[in-house]
């Protein structure tokens, strides 16, 4: 037998040893579960392209939050599905205090004072054009959009959001939102900016869930490339995130997740704030579809995907698989 001073396999010989030397762990409380909210009560609508995820009326959201809390997941991001007849080209319903987003936020806040709630700031659920900003003459307007986003963020904060999360990628919106929050006395509201959000094909199922894809009409851009980032760019993500931090962001997000691990790593290495990664709808749907075909084991592939995001540097992960992950965690660790 040869003498080998180095045998890395020594540290892999059984589960307890592997547990001792494991470099990264992901606790369920680092997860944020995105929830699609609809009007009505007792409503649970499946989403064809997002197997295992449903649109929920507010009472059903309560049930999911109960389950989540019992599993150690206590952060939720709300996305309202707005009826088509309430959508306009200026997305005005985004600043309706009694609209679905603010109503759901208030109801959940009142019922669950201890959970953390994320309010999404962008116009796409409210835009008849399917864009995150106001469209005019074939362009998505920046500064006019920022004004309405700042108001939307304030309303969500006043309705009970601990965290507002601008997912729109307009320039300067973090500064405008921070100023609006400060001047209205909402100094403690956290801003989690979608700082490096790429123009990705992996958002398809999300747009199905909200019926929010850009529409095919003369004068409406068909894609979001004039505001979301080019997938070919990495350094630009550092610039985007640095600007957001300067303007007052507390957490910066990279989105999508797995195809952009290098970006997660870069931001986590260079910036002084927590980095979040969004394991987006298309990534989640790929796991489900591959599992349905017998190509991968869903649970193992989910665990691997999420820990890879953490290894790259994410401290927070948004995923539709949060409850599945937490169930596995509970099974393996015997507690939440
Ligand atoms: C839009 C928004 C999108 C997602 C979150 N916010 C889609 C888009 O930019 O078109 C995608 C999330 C997912 O795919 O899970 N403000």
Ligand 1 neighbour 280 (Cβ under 6 A)? yes
Kindly indicate the confidence band of residue 330, based on its pLDDT and cuts at 50, 70 and 90.
very high
CB count within 10 Å of CB 39 equals 15
Length of the chain in residues, anyone?
Answer: 336
User: Has residue 256 got a pLDDT over 70?
Assistant: yes
> Which entry of 87, 197, 224, 331 is annotated as an active-site residue?
197
Question: What rounded mean pLDDT belongs to the chain?
Answer: 97
Q: Ligand 1: which of 207, 209, 214, 258 to mutate, most ligand atoms within 8 Å of CB?
A: 207
pLDDT > 70 fraction of the chain, expressed in percent and rounded: 99
Kindly indicate the confidence band of residue 335, based on its pLDDT and cuts at 50, 70 and 90.
low
User: Has residue 334 got a pLDDT over 90?
Assistant: no
Report d(CA 193, CA 186) in Å as an integer. Answer: 17
pLDDT at 1: 81
Backbone angles phi, psi at 22, to 5 degrees: -60, 130
pLDDT at 46: 98
pLDDT at 231: 98
Ligand 1 neighbour 229 (Cβ under 6 A)? no
Q: What is the pLDDT of residues 112-170, one digit of tens each?
A: 999 999 999 999 999 999 999 999 999 999 999 999 999 999 999 999 999 999 999 99
Contact between residue 80 and residue 99 where contact means Cβ atoms under 8 Å apart? yes
Answer yes or no: 224 catalytic.
no
pLDDT > 90 fraction of the chain, expressed in percent and rounded: 99
Ligand 1 neighbour 207 (Cβ under 6 A)? yes
Ligand 1 neighbour 180 (Cβ under 6 A)? no
Q: What is the pLDDT of residues 67-107, one digit of tens each?
A: 999 999 999 999 999 999 999 999 999 999 999 999 999 99
Q: What is the pLDDT of residues 281-293, one digit of tens each?
A: 999 999 999 999 9
Backbone angles phi, psi at 30, to 5 degrees: -85, 0
pLDDT at 221: 96
Q: Using CA positions, which residue lies closest to atom 2 of ligand 1? A: 167
Ligand 1 neighbour 198 (Cβ under 6 A)? no
pLDDT at 336: 52
Q: Ligand 1: which of 167, 192, 202, 284 to mutate, most ligand atoms within 8 Å of CB?
A: 167
pLDDT at 240: 98
Answer yes or no: 197 catalytic.
yes
């Amino acid at each position: 037998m040869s003498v080998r001073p180095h045998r890395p396999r020594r540290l892999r010989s059984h589960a307890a040893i592997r547990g001792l030397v494991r470099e990264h762990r992901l606790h369920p409380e680092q997860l944020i579960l995105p929830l699609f909210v609809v009007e009505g009560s007792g409503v649970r609508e499946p989403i064809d392209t997002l197997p295992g995820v449903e649109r929920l009326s507010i009472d059903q959201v309560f049930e999911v939050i109960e389950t989540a809390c019992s599993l150690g997941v206590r952060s939720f991001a709300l996305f309202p599905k707005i009826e088509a007849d309430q959508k306009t080209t200026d997305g005005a319903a985004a600043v309706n205090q009694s609209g679905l987003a603010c109503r759901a936020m208030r109801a959940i806040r009142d019922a669950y004072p201890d959970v953390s709630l994320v309010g999404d700031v962008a116009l796409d659920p409210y835009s008849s054009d399917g864009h995150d900003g106001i469209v005019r003459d074939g362009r998505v307007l920046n500064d006019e959009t920022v004004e309405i986003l700042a108001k939307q963020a304030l309303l969500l904060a006043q309705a009970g959001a601990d965290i507002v999360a601008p997912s729109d990628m307009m320039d300067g919106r973090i500064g405008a939102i921070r100023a609006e929050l400060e001047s209205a006395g909402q100094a403690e509201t956290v801003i989690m900016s979608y700082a490096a959000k790429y123009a990705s094909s992996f958002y398809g199922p999300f747009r199905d869930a909200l019926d929010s894809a850009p529409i095919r009409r003369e004068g409406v851009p068909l894609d979001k490339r004039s505001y979301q980032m080019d997938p070919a760019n990495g350094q630009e993500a550092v610039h985007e995130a640095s600007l957001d931090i300067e303007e007052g962001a507390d957490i910066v997000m990279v989105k999508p997740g797995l195809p952009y691990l290098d970006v997660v790593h870069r931001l986590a290495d260079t910036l002084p704030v927590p980095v979040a990664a969004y394991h987006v709808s298309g990534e989640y749907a790929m796991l489900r579809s591959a599992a349905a075909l017998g190509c991968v084991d869903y649970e193992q592939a989910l665990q691997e995907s999420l820990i890879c995001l953490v290894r790259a540097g994410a401290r927070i992960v948004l995923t539709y698989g949060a409850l599945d992950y937490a169930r596995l965690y509970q099974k393996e660790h015997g507690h939440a």
